[in-house]
Amino acid sequence: MNRRYSERVITGLNHLASGKIRDLYAVGDDLLLVASDKISAFDYVLESEIPDKGRILTQLSMWWFRQLADLVPNHVISADVEQFPAELQPYKEELRGRSMLCRKLSMVQVECVARGYLTGSGLAEYERTRTANGVPLPPGLVDGSRLDRPIFTPAMKAEVGQHDENVSFEDMAERIGDPELAAQLKDLTLAVYSRAREIAEERGIILADTKFEFGRLRGGTLVLADEVLTPDSSRFWPADEWKPGRTQSSFDKQYVRDWLSSPASGWDRKSDTPPPVLPEEVVQATRARYVEAYERLTGAKFD
């Protein structure tokens, strides 16, 4: 396992894997997803942590799973540590609010991305070919353009630390060897994104794009996995600052990006050096943005 994350791993639990921000453990036949307070920016996982980020994003995921339950089943058993198995009870204060006990799935090896707006890797391909994952798009689109209808832009999962490979729908269908499943992934991804985008826009937040992961239960049912519709798996933009033709302001990471890009940080993004520790005021302002996103979307106070 990558040494960088070793200090985060809860010794005594059966650790399976670590992503940049989260850790995965085996608990009997189930899995435990634990979100840290780490934050990434400019493709680096920063040394600084954002207090409560793991709890805020886990509780946001749980809220979205409940909002979407009529559209798609999900893998969550419980996010209440009081209901966790006995072997987890010694760790319950460390796990409280930031962990989800989930059913172990046979994961579909596709990152199911829905885009309602053009930016990032989708924009880069469009600027070269006027397509996104091989899908022709209208002329004249710019960074942040809202698409007439959301598009499905799948990616094949890459090794940790590498970027996923954007592929066409047809290529994805061939590589998973199941055209029916490919069509189901596309339909579900677009339906769930469309519902979530509406909910977010009613609350002044643009859900520009998002990445879903799906897996199958033992009986074959396709369910929504991983975390969903958080600022780590999606691009959240403040709707009142949206202006196509420029880089949009990130709802949650703009303070971090601006400070790291400013002379105050002393950091050169083009250098191979990792970003410096964040000033406390940037940490606290970023925490406040995560709390604001949670409270505006769910209508509940974060406590």
For ligand PZK, give the closer residue by CB, 38 or 253: 38
Beta carbon of residue 100, minimum distance to ligand PZK (angstroms, whole number): 8
Binding mask 12-31 for ligand PZK (x = CB under 6 A): -----xxx--xxx------x
Cβ proximity of 107 and 215 under 8 Å: yes
Stretch that binds ligand PZK, among 99-107, 147-155, 235-243, 287-295 (CB under 6 A): 99-107
105 binds ligand PZK (CB under 6 A): yes
225 binds ligand PZK (CB under 6 A): yes
Residue for token pair 């921000």: 21
102 binds ligand PZK (CB under 6 A): yes
User: Contacts with ligand PZK in 201-220 (CB under 6 A)?
Assistant: 215
Beta carbon of residue 104, minimum distance to ligand PZK (angstroms, whole number): 5
Nearest to 22 by CA among 8, 42, 2: 8
For ligand PZK, give the closer residue by CB, 78 or 249: 78
Beta carbon of residue 32, minimum distance to ligand PZK (angstroms, whole number): 9
First to last CA, the chain: 33
Binding mask 107-126 for ligand PZK (x = CB under 6 A): x-------------------
57 binds ligand PZK (CB under 6 A): no
Amino acid identity, position 233? S
Cβ proximity of 54 and 96 under 8 Å: no
Stretch that binds ligand PZK, among 103-111, 173-181, 252-260, 287-295 (CB under 6 A): 103-111
For ligand PZK, give the closer residue by CB, 59 or 254: 59
For ligand PZK, give the closer residue by CB, 33 or 155: 33
In angstroms, the CA 84 to CA 92 distance is 8
Question: Cβ neighbours of residue 241 under 8 Å, at least 6 residues apart?
Answer: 248, 249
Residue at shortest CB range from ligand PZK: 22
Beta carbon of residue 73, minimum distance to ligand PZK (angstroms, whole number): 12
Interface with ligand PZK (CB under 6 A), residue from 38, 53, 55, 75: 75
What is the dihedral sign for C-alpha 138, 139, 140, 143?
positive
For ligand PZK, give the closer residue by CB, 75 or 253: 75
Beta carbon of residue 89, minimum distance to ligand PZK (angstroms, whole number): 21
Beta carbon of residue 24, minimum distance to ligand PZK (angstroms, whole number): 4
Which spans of this chain sit near ligand PZK (rule: CB under 6 A)?
17-19, 22-24, 31, 33, 75, 102-105, 107, 215, 225-226
